[in-house]
Amino acid sequence: MSTAPAAEGTAQAVMLPGWRLSARATWALVWLVFYFLPTTINVLSVLSEHKRDGRPIAAWEPMCWEYSSALGGLAALPLVYLGIRRAPGWARAPLRTLGLHLLLMIAYGVVHISLMMGLRVIVYALVGGHYHNAGSWADIFLYEVRKDALTYLIAAAILTMGRQLVRLSRVVALVEAQQAAVVSAPIAPPLPEPPAPEPPARLELKVGTRRVFVAPEEIIQVSAAGKYVEVMTRERVHLVRRSLADIQSDLPPHLFVRVHRSRLLNRATIQRVDSRPSGDLDITLTTGLTVTASRRYKAELLEV
């Protein structure tokens, strides 16, 4: 199969409702059971069939066959995780997603088969024997890679469902915490209405030898460009020699949000937000422009 130790880097500490194991420990348990429980059953089945047919066989041989395959598959497991994390998504780029999964599916088969056959050769050599293939290497590869393709698909499905379950558990935990906070919170007297916010002052931009004054609400985005920043409005882009952090301090915090370490966006220009499997976001602006937001700034972007 194939997948990674945890659904996401931040999922390692997530606890499912009613479940005492962390996400990392849960994934380890899932994959150990997935690979080694059927393997043990296969070993016992082979021993039982040989005994029934009157063909005695040493117990270490079927153990070598089956466990070498399980270890090879477990070693190739990160390739499935890589496919889930790196694929651009079926909705956004179906051909690229299909191509990546096909490439990783073949790589999964190569890793699995190579380790499996190598372990068998080593084990047989250690006991003074010689491992004989049932056919040519090409025949073995074609036979095994078909099974590995199915294993890859099953592992990818398990990983995808697991990641969704982890995300769902976060939402459930958040809703329960909010409900508990509402129930336990004391009833406070109504607060006086805050004064209407003053209109933001215009932002002064030094563009070469000129000084340009722009109202913050006219700015669409601000992005870093080396030692400069590009301030984009609907009319033009101003190149200003300032740092992104410096210009952010002059902008209204309720109006602008950081979506990437090198980009600020005007919240009023955000039309749609689409999630990627990697956790990053694609943001479509009212101008038709699409920009990428890092998952590092996802919480700040989506807060109301």
Tokens of 132: 């004989």
CA distance 161 to 88: 18
Output the pLDDT for position 9: 40
**C-alpha span between 31 and 26 (Å, rounded):** 9
What is the reported pLDDT for 222? 93
Task: Identify whether the C-beta of residue 33 lies closer than 8 Å to the C-beta of residue 44.
Answer: no
Contact present, 221 and 283 (Cβ < 8 Å):
no
Residues facing 214 on adjacent strands: 203
Q: Which residues in the chain land under pLDDT 50?
A: 1-16, 199
φ, ψ for residue 22, nearest 5 deg: -70, 170
CA distances from 55 to 50, 52, 65, 111, 298 (A): 5, 8, 17, 32, 62
Tally of CB atoms within 10 A around 229: 25
| Alpha-carbon distance values, 31 to 24, 25, 113, 220 (Å) | 11, 10, 18, 47
- Cα 83 from Cα 242, distance rounded (Å): 39
Q: What type of residue is 169? A: S
Write the CB contacts of 209 (distance below 8 Å, at least 6 apart in sequence): none
- Provide the pLDDT for residue 134: 65
The alpha carbon of residue 176 and the mean position of all alpha carbons in its chain are separated, in whole angstroms, by 25
CB 196 within 8 A of CB 207: no
